[in-house]
Amino acid sequence: MAAPPSPSSRSPSSEVAVHRFSGTLDVSSSPSRTELLSMVKKHSHLIGWTIIGAEDDASDVGMDDKFWHEMLDLFFVRGRQSKRSEEDDLVFFVNNMKLHGYGFNDNMEDPPPFFVRRWAPTLEKISINTVEVDWERSFYLNLIAHTSYTVTVAIFGIEDLRNRAVKNKQLPPVYKVTKNVYASPSRVNFHLDRRKAVETLPAYPNIFFSVDDFDDTFDAVVLSDPEHCYCVILNAHDGAAFPEESECKNPVSNTQPGMSCGSAQEKPPKRTLFSAYVGYQNVRGAYDACRSKFGSFLSLGHDHNKLDRLFMKGPEGRGEVEVAVSGIADQSSGKSKKDPGDSFRVLVHRAASAASKLVKHAYESSSANRQMDDELVPLKCCLMSVSLPWDYIAHDLLHKDTPPMDL
């Protein structure tokens, strides 16, 4: 998938200064969310991809652990006491991989990368072994999990999308659906034939934004024009990674750079974490490749309504989109009642036809390809999930300052 063109803007810096936490945090004055986020940004060396060298002694690392332990407590334990929403009832902890010695003992099963506990008024009341916790990664995982997100799927004319970069006005999409999604360190495996989830597996360090009711939500998202493209945008807009609403309304609030609340005239703050598009021909090519596998030639007929799972990489290989694609059969001819014997004869005919096609395929591949190109098949594209590495998400939540994508 390609990145949608956007107006020229200042690119976010990938360099993050390293600051060591020295001393004990003074939380007697109850720092605001904005002030806490500012402190986190100054200490966010891990998502700046800075490697801790040999010159960093154990005391420095210990100070870091204390800082992130305190930040997790302030953000997601003590800082949650006034909240009542069910979404905030979980606290995530990432296991310390160095402590567990991942990969060194083939006879022992590695523990899961993370574990979850129910919220308690104090961190001490949450039953955990603090030594086994990677506090910095745990903070970031909770920052991601307790932020609000929306995913937008749209059908755009390719030329209209390209012209957005040079025109001041926003060009409307052909069709658009926006859905609230939640960040999870687990992935949901869907059984496409039954349109339901069959299992949930740990995915960390990847974070998944899944759409459980994908078939219903995106039922009307259909690519039916070779000049159209399929767009996916993931935005963060509220929650732990943003200043609280009360701070935005307070005129004396000291809002830090990159933490804008917006104004009465501006839209609420938002950050785009993923944006990409793919043209009809690319989707059609991947769909045809799935449909033309050896097994499909032995099937009785061609079921246009059967879902195929397609995976599309994001721009520069960043992130992945999982889409359930199905062809929409021609509905122009009305349905009529048939004799039961007709159905059997049709099946026999289809089986013979499928076998014949299999034999001829090797000799007529070029003409078959031309025929498929000439036949326009509307494709229903139901977004199942968007996934990104946790460090990309955390970095963009804290440091990205380019304008968000809006459709």
Is residue 316 assigned to a domain? Answer: no
8 A C-beta contact, residue 356 and residue 348:
no
Q: Would you tell me the crossing angle of helices 33-42 and 390-399 to the nearest 10 degrees?
A: 120
Q: What is the pLDDT along the chain (407 residues), one digit of tens a residue?
A: 888 765 444 334 333 333 444 445 555 556 788 899 999 998 886 674 444 444 444 455 557 888 999 999 888 888 764 554 555 689 999 998 776 555 445 555 677 899 988 888 777 777 677 778 999 999 999 999 999 999 999 999 988 887 876 666 677 899 999 999 999 999 988 877 666 667 889 999 999 999 999 989 999 999 999 999 999 999 999 989 998 876 665 544 444 444 556 544 456 689 999 999 999 999 999 998 887 764 443 343 445 567 888 999 988 889 999 999 999 875 554 444 445 444 444 444 554 455 455 435 433 443 444 444 557 899 999 999 999 999 999 999 999 988 888 77
Is residue 180 assigned to a domain? Answer: no
Is residue 79 assigned to a domain? Answer: yes
**Last residue of a domain, which of 145, 173, 190?**
145
Beta bridge partners of 230: 155, 278
Domain limits for position 139 = 33-145
Is residue 120 assigned to a domain? Answer: yes
Is residue 111 assigned to a domain? Answer: yes
How many residues are recorded in the chain?
407
Q: How far apart are CA 397 and CA 274, in angstroms?
A: 12
Alpha helices in 171-213 (DSSP H): none
Residue with tokens 């014949």: 356
Count: domains in the chain: 2
The reported pLDDT for the residue numbered 61 is: 54
Is residue 220 assigned to a domain? Answer: no
Q: Closest Cα partner for 311 from 283, 339, 337? A: 283
Sequence-distant (6+) residues with CB within 8 A of 126 are 77, 91, 117, 118, 119, 120
Is residue 137 assigned to a domain? Answer: yes
In which element (H, E) is residue 118 found? strand 114-118
Q: How far apart are CA 352 and CA 120, in angstroms?
A: 66
**Last residue of a domain, which of 115, 145, 175?**
145
**286 by DSSP, 3-state: which?**
helix
Q: Closest Cα partner for 186 from 205, 201, 171? A: 201
Is residue 277 assigned to a domain? Answer: no
pTM (two decimals): 0.76
How many Cα atoms occupy the beta-carbon half-sphere of 200 within 13 Å?
8
Q: How far apart are CA 184 and CA 321, in angstroms?
A: 15
**Last residue of a domain, which of 145, 164, 189?**
145
